Amino acid sequence: MISDIALVLSTLMCSLIAGLLFCYAILIMPGLKKLDDKSFIKAFQVTDRIIQNNHPLFILIWLGSALSIIVLAISSLGKLEGIDVYIMLFALTGYFCGIQAPTILVNLPLNKKLQKLNVAHSSEEELRASRIEFEAPWNKSNEIRTIMACMTSLALIVLCLKQ
């Protein structure tokens, strides 16, 4: 029973995370790319600040996805057989190594550094250098997170269909 609930919650929450990362990859960041350096940084700061200020639904989904996939893995021990064990292990590993790790190691430090930049008191050269230092690594990491989030969601959907 717990593993069934955890599977549904994991699938839902990981899919929501995949959708969020996908939107950043194909809509938000390409849209921001068209802005000048000052506008790009300010727009990113504003949107990121909503997340950094612990938006309750974002926190619920982000932390809930991590918790639910851990509960799923633990509650599925001994219940899953054959290929299903490997699908579960892929989802668990993909989630933490492909989504959480890049977020913690790359995206969050870049976000925090950009948040500290005072756009109003920075020169055009400082803004340009900050954007260059931020944009490409952030986007590359987000591409990895997006692919892994989609693959994790797909693995969980497959597990749902097999139950």
- What contacts 44, CB < 8 A, 6 or more positions away? 32, 114, 134
Tokens of 142: 């987000």
145 close to 98: Cβ distance less than 8 angstroms: yes
Whole-angstrom distance, CA of residue 16 vs CA of residue 95: 13
pLDDT at 128 over 80: yes
Q: What is the pLDDT of residue 24?
A: 97
Q: Which pLDDT band, with edges at 50, 70 and 90, does 163 fall under?
A: confident
| DSSP assignment string, 32-84 | HHTS-HHHHHHHHHHHHHHHHTT-HHHHHHHHHHHHHHHHHHHHHTTT--THH
Tokens of 69: 């996939």
Whole-angstrom distance, CA of residue 92 vs CA of residue 97: 8
Tokens of 145: 């997170």
Q: What is the pLDDT of residue 77?
A: 87
Q: What is the pLDDT of residue 162?
A: 87
Tokens of 49: 């600040």
Q: Quick one: residue 80, left, alpha or beta (phi over 0 = left, psi -120 to 50 = alpha)?
A: beta
Q: What is the pLDDT of residue 60?
A: 95
